[in-house]
Copies of this chain bind each other. A is one copy, B any other.
C-alpha cells in the first residue's frame, strides 16, 4: 500500500473511531450484531440502523427496529413508536408505512426514502409487542393465551430496560413514547410502568421519560363509542333511524341499561362500513385485497369498542392510505427470506407467516374501559401529553377524542375571549390550516390533522412531522398562516 493511501486509510479509520467514541458508542458486540447492513432495496443513507431481538424471559423475545437520527443522533431525543390493534405490528405499520425512513410503497424491489421520516428529529425505535405480534415470539404457546394490556406493558417495559443495555449511550437522552389507535392504551400504560419503575430505579435503570403523544387513540370506551356513532351520522354514513336506535337502544353507550335492540343496531352500524375504508372515509378501498380475503386483517379493533357485539377479529379491514393496497406490499416484503435475514428476524423460523396484524393471537385478556385516569396521573407527575386526531378516520374519530378528552374536565389555557368560545384554534403548516388545536393548563395538547385518516403520518407525513417536532420541543403549534 503506497504511503498516501495508507495514511488516508488510517485517517478514515481513526476519525470513524473518534466519531463512535464522541457519540458514546463504545464497542458493543451485542449491538453491532444487530446492525442492519444489507437490507434488500434499501437506498443508501448516512445514519445507522439496527434490528433484532431482546430476550425478556426464557421463552419470550421481542423484536425491535431502531434508526439513529439522521443528523447528530447524540443530541436528539429518543422516541419509541407503538402501533395498536391490539396485535398489529409497529414495524409493518409505523416503520414501513407511516413514519420510518424506509417505506414499502409497492411490490417493486426498492424501498422508498421517506423525506418526512421521524428520525429527522429523533432517534427512532419501533417495537413489536406483545409476543405473537410481527416477529416477536414465544416458545410457550400458552403465553399467547395470556396476552392483554397488562402483559404488553410489562413485557415492553422489560424490553426497554434490556434494550438500553444494548444502547447505553441513549440512556441519558430525553425519552418519549408515541403511538396510534389501540396504542392509546399501550402508551400511557407503559409510561405509567416506567414512571413507577423510575421511583425505585438505580441511576443505571432510570429511564428519562418526558412525555407521550397518541393519535386517533382509544381512550375511554363509552365516549369513544358514542363518538363513532355521532361521527358516522354527521359524515352521512348511517341513517337517521340507525343513529337514533343506537343512541336509544345502546343507552348512549353509558354502559348500563342497554336494550335488546342494541345488538342488531350495532351490527347494522358495522355493515354500513362494509364497503368503505373506515380508517379513511374518503379514500378508495383496495379492491384486490377485498376480493382475496375480505375479512382477514384489521388495523385496529379495540377489545371494548363494541366488544360485547363483535369478536375483535371480526371487523373487516379495508386497507387505508393513498395507495390503498400498501398493506399487501408490506406483508409480501417482510415475508421475504432475504429481508428477514438482513433484519435478524425470524431466527427461530416461526410456523406462521409474517402479518401486519397478528393472526395467532385469538384472545385479549384485559383492557380497562378507560385510560383517562392514567393520563391525569401522569400529567400531574409532569409528563407532557399530546393527543392528536386525523379527522377523516371513522374508527377512533375526532368526535370520540373530543368527548373523551372532555371527560377529564381539564382547564383550557387562554384569556377571557378564549374562555368564552374555547381555546380551540386553527394551527398552520406551510401557510395552510393543518388542523385545530387546544391546550390545557394540566399539560395536555389536543390537535387535529385536517383531512388525515387513522394513520396520520401516512396521510399527512409533513404535518405529522411538524406535530412531532413541536411536541418534542415543547412548543405551541403555529397560530397563523405567516408565523
Contact = CB atoms under 8 A, between A and B. Distances in A.
Interface string A452-483: 00000000000000000000000000000100
A441 to B, nearest CB: 16
Interface in A222-238: 230-231, 234-238
A423 interface: yes
Contacts of A287: 431
A85 B407 CA distance: 42
Given A234-B234, A275-B481, A285-B432, 19 more contacts: A234-B235, A235-B235, A235-B398, A236-B389, A236-B435, A236-B436, A236-B450, A239-B421, A239-B422, A241-B422, A242-B424, A265-B421, A272-B426, A275-B426, A275-B428, A275-B433, A276-B433, A276-B450, A282-B392
A284 interface: yes
A98 interface: no
Given A282-B451, A450-B281, A481-B275, A237 B436 contact: yes
B240 A406 contact: yes
Given A284-B432, A420-B241, A433-B275, A234 B236 contact: no
A402 interface: yes
Nearest to A419: B241
A236 B402 contact: yes
B438 A239 contact: yes
A68 interface: no
A137 B433 CA distance: 39
Contacts of A238: 424
A168 B452 CA distance: 52
